[in-house]
Structure 1
């Protein structure tokens, strides 16, 4: 099932569906809360609810403004269903472009690291296409680590808790073929402008990239060459206006930098390859 575009439900006096068929009641409740795609969301919620009590609880959480993916307990990403928990960053469809860029540049990769992994969606998507790989994922947020283990461990991977490279085993130094780092890149002053679903229900550490949005990107780039195998690549997602600075940062780290853009997905991915 596809991930629906985000909507912005507002508070409602009651999440209980009005009289009528269950579907009509759910649609009405979601529409009253401001959900733009009320019909599509209602179908997903009805499919996920096992009892009337559970249905009411799911509708109540959606009406309260929780992201649909957190309400359902999963997100669609790169053709996969990724388990998701409350308080964990929701993988965006545009980040599928980062996965595609990694696969295009390292189709024979055998060691993959998903840094700032959140739910582990990027690493899992890479492993699903590459086949058996040595997969590691890491995040500083304990809630993300717990969630990522639900997705990564069944793929034979390992999830580590800690701050960027400090979380990884030293045995990975110089061996990583794909280092995917979906770093936070929203400038601190712009976090308050994000949709309420992100501001209120996703961890700040997954959103706030510092004054210009590039603080974490700089930290990752500075250390990445020590961890990459010869020919290995670092990939990060960034915004259009940040891309020139990101490219310059990669070049200063002695990585061969390349910018790929998807206008359809509004995605910008900077890749740096180790000589």
Structure 2
């Protein structure tokens, strides 16, 4: 998610609209209200911000200093036209880069990605489980071939890669993809996106590379390190399908095959401690 600050609401709103057309979450914050807003935002939400864009702002010095006190996200200045004096002034205030109009959202993504690589906050690309993921807006490569993905699913895949050493919750993914103050969309939409993403990856890889655990979140499995999972014909589903809970077991297996859809509440209560979900 990107944060845009500009004294001109129309300019800030237009910049946010450009990001949204590319499937990137962005919000516009009034510079006069930034100090109060920044104090109220938690550290976890600040960590979601991928970059701060400052346009025409009278209090650039104060705002840039406040941002640097809590975040190492790229700080990019937006200017109306190339001007050496203004560019040098912004760099002296601690800005990481300066862009003159006209510019494209993809250029901002590429520049912010380069800044993060220089500061060792991210990598240019990552190879895991036969998937090569980029962080500049390009579609991933699966087994060497391009896999075209909708923008939201591509962003979710990037989130899973960035958090590949730990699990990431549905809420954390939602905040990165849709923004931390988006009240118009329910975070359950993430489950639908991940279900479709799993299906696309499974068609190319032959296995499901996304591991999910209820209440813990999602993780992208490193198949090369863990070994491709193989189901034995003598596993629990065969034995569960025999006996009084046969109908329940069938419904559980069907839900599992359909992706990461949540179990119905009555099924979960009946399972108890027998089958951890």
TM-score (normalised: structure 1) = 0.30
TM-score between the two structures when normalised by the length of structure 2: 0.30
Which has the larger share of strand?
Answer: 1
Larger Rg: 2
